[in-house]
Structure 1
């Protein structure tokens, strides 16, 4: 799933850091923070494996088959969860996109098990996924633009001290992780 080795390593680092934060969110006191953290950690670590430079490791076809099955199970879980939470639709698209990228590698159609200069997908499907992730990245990035909070006067005339959520429940960190995974997915789809 690579071009130059440097971009592969950057995707590995970004995806691994994102996956680690998602695992840390699993220990949060907030139910909403834990709700999607496991699926996001799976996606992030899966992207890290897929982005490993081919010079470092050559994953056999059966390894890609295992990844396709794992992401397929993740898609089924996201489909089941999408009944109650809208964000799981994004997880469904993401896990299906991961299956879409791993199937050509599992069938042995790629050089050395990685996508390096070989067409591995259907151009229309790849284009739709690229458009989806481009829109997702732009929309998510726009929500991270800081907006100053309204200042409410407390009983002493100063600003009211609202309770700050724990680091695992900070919505801006969760959005930043989702943004980085969206960027990584877009980059990986470009190489397909």
Structure 2
């Protein structure tokens, strides 16, 4: 049994929006050094939510999304001055700009996507990212059960789960090209 396309699209919107909201709250609580990365993840979560909305709904179009994600690429380039550990933000921003560009050219959402080599490379990257992120999340959760009345998961595990959810969302959107 499979979900209707519109239902799965709305579930992806919800997943990405919740991830973006969590990252935004993390950015507000973070120290100055970590704030940029969390803000970038929040932007990607909300941007992915907007991009996952079924076609024809909402006031934005592919060209607006392309402009937003080109801004996200610039932000990711700015983050790289803090070290290469921010390279994933750049790859994610470039992937979102690429998907918006394919939509602006009249492709995407089930039509002919962009060049197969670029799409394939991004699919491989995000598939590896999801597998590695899932493995890290599973190995990180091997501690003692939570104390009654305490938080149900550590913030680091929630952050990993948020990143994993956005990676899965990115993979799903790339597969729809």
TM-score by length of 1: 0.78
Matched with 1:160 is: none
- Partner Cα separation in structure 1 for residue 54 and residue 30 of structure 2: 37
Q: Give the superposition deviation at 1:50.
A: 1.0
Number of the residue aligned with 1:148:
143
Q: What are the equivalent positions in structure 2 for 1:2-151 lying under 5 Å apart?
A: 4-31=5-32, 33-54=34-55, 57=57, 63-107=61-105, 109-110=106-107, 115-145=108-138, 146-148=141-143
Q: How far apart are residue 64 of structure 1 and its match? A: 1.6
Counterpart residue number, 2:168: 183
Q: Distance in 2 between matches of 1:143 and 1:32?
A: 23
Q: Secondary structure at the match of 1:148?
A: coil
Displacement of 1:47 in angstroms is 0.8
Query: Is this contact kept in 2: 1:25–1:33, CA < 8 A?
Result: no
Q: Say what the alpha-carbon RMSD is for the aligned residues.
A: 2.4
Q: Deviations for 1:60-99, whole angstroms, at most 9, x for unmatched residues?
A: 6xx3212111111211221121132333100000000000
**Alpha-carbon distance, 1:30 to partner:** 3.8
Please identify the structure whose Cα radius of gyration is greater. Answer: 1
Give the gaps of 5 or more residues in structure 2. 145-149
- Partners of 2:129 and 2:100 in 1: how far apart? 22
Deviations 1:16-72 (A, max 9, x none): 1101111111221444542311111111111111111236x1656xx3212111111
Query: Which protein is richer in helix relative to its size?
Result: 2
Structure with the bigger RCO (C-alpha within 8 Å, sep 6+) is 1
**Alpha-carbon distance between aligned partners in 2 of 1:126 and 1:11, rounded to the nearest angstrom:** 20
Deviation at 1:182, TM superposition (A): 0.2
Length, aligned pairs only: 166
Residues 163-178 of structure 1: pairs in structure 2 closer than 5 A: 170-178=155-163
| Runs of 4+ more than 6 Å apart | none
Aligned match of 1:153: none
* Ranges in structure 1 where 5+ consecutive residues have no aligned partner: 150-163
